[in-house]
Structure 1
Amino acid sequence: MDRYRFPAYIFLGNNRYRERYGLDFEDFKVGQVFRHRPGVTISQQDNVEECVNTFNQAMIHFDEYYAEHTEFKRPLINTTLIVQRLMGMIWKTYYRRKRIVEWGSIDMLAPVFGGDTLYAESEVLFVGANLKDSESGLIEILLSGSNQKQQKTCEIRCTMLLYKREHLPFSAKNY
């Protein structure tokens, strides 16, 4: 049986395959831009639960009366929730990530409110060797979040290690 017959699957053995997500380190090039779909609509309930779970007591996130007296006029979505959702939206592309090694910056550019839909786009800024081990390489991305009005709401710079093609720990050769 041809082990490369189904490129979206890892051949494990006779009639056994595992779904394969993401790109190998070798597939990334500087300048590539990925639009990650679908978008995610964030509710005020999601926001309140995030604030409760993280003990965030900033009234701007959940007190509508308080928020009416601010420049935003509505409760703001918690920044940690926005970052979590955007990072979660890119998982299929960067599935072979070994780990995040650096958060370069997290910039909030516009407010996000309950009911807004976030969309993620990432651009590859750097691709290079990992001098500490040969099984992975370094990649730096700029992750941009936009709302349903195509207004940029957030930019995140991060550097991560991605497994090289032959070193993925859950590939067929390791089973």
Structure 2
Amino acid sequence: MAGLYLEDFEVGHVFRHPLRKTVTESDNMLFSVMTLNPQPLHIDFDFASKTEWGRPLVNSLFTLGLMIGISVNDITIGTTVANLGMTETMFPHPLFHGDTVHVETTVISVRESKSKPDRGIVEFEHRAYNQNDALVAKCTRQAMMLKRPA
């Protein structure tokens, strides 16, 4: 199993995830349609061409999901019990079709569960960057993680 157990996380450790993704128009359109989000800033090239950006923005919730998804294989696949929450979510720079996303994750805190002896809570800060290293998304996520089996 590729995921890490609670005991494997060290506060301050930074994971530089090797998986990267170039975001396509299809990614953005499909996500917007699947989530019933008709925001013309994401799906209408004519509308978007008349904004300060001059082109469609990638749906920010797609960006959030991609950022966390890129981290899964390196840190939580098979060892996470549940996402408990996400806070301090921000999108300081837009993401556009054709941008390539790479992600870093820092371990903010680690603690054992007070009620369940086989697990604990890890707090992560995920950061997504485009190909020019502009920060396009950031969030703090709390995940319930399994402890190593006895």
Q: Would you call these one fold, judging by a TM-score over 0.5?
A: yes
Aligned counterparts of 1:51 and 1:32: Cα–Cα separation in 2: 34
Aligned to 1:104: 87
Higher alpha-carbon Rg: 1
Aligned to 2:12: 31
Q: Aligned match of 2:76 in 65, 83, 94?
A: 94
Aligned to 1:46: 27
Aligned counterparts of 1:104 and 1:75: Cα–Cα separation in 2: 26
Aligned to 1:10: none
CA offsets 1:4-36 (integer angstroms, 9 cap, x no match): xxxxxxxxxxxxxxxx21211101111000011
Structure 2 residue 120 is the aligned partner of structure 1 residue 137: yes
1:54-133 map, 5 Å: 54-92=35-73, 93-95=75-77, 96-133=79-116
Counterpart amino acid of residue 85 in structure 2: E
Question: Higher relative CO (CA 8 A, sep ≥ 6), structure 1 or 2?
Answer: 2
Q: For this pair of structures, how many residues does the alignment match?
A: 148
Q: Aligned match of 2:147 in 164, 170, 173?
A: 164
Q: 5+ unaligned residues in a row in structure 2: which ranges?
A: none
Q: 5+ unaligned residues in a row in structure 1: which ranges?
A: 1-19, 168-175
Question: Structure 1 runs of 4+ off > 2 angstroms?
Answer: none
Counterpart amino acid of residue 81 in structure 2: K
Aligned counterparts of 2:143 and 2:46: Cα–Cα separation in 1: 41
Instruction: Describe the SS at the equivalent of 1:119.
Output: strand
Alpha carbon RMSD of aligned pairs, Å? Answer: 1.0
Q: Identity over aligned residues, as a percent?
A: 28
Offset at 1:105?
A: 2.4
**TM-score if structure 2 supplies the norm length?**
0.95
Aligned to 2:2: 21
Q: Is the 8 A contact 2:29 2:43 kept in 1?
A: yes
Offset at 1:54?
A: 0.8
Q: Is the 8 A contact 2:67 2:137 kept in 1?
A: no
Aligned counterparts of 1:86 and 1:42: Cα–Cα separation in 2: 12
Aligned counterparts of 1:138 and 1:88: Cα–Cα separation in 2: 19
Q: Aligned match of 2:130 in 147, 153, 165?
A: 147
Counterpart amino acid of residue 54 in structure 2: K
Offset at 1:118?
A: 0.6
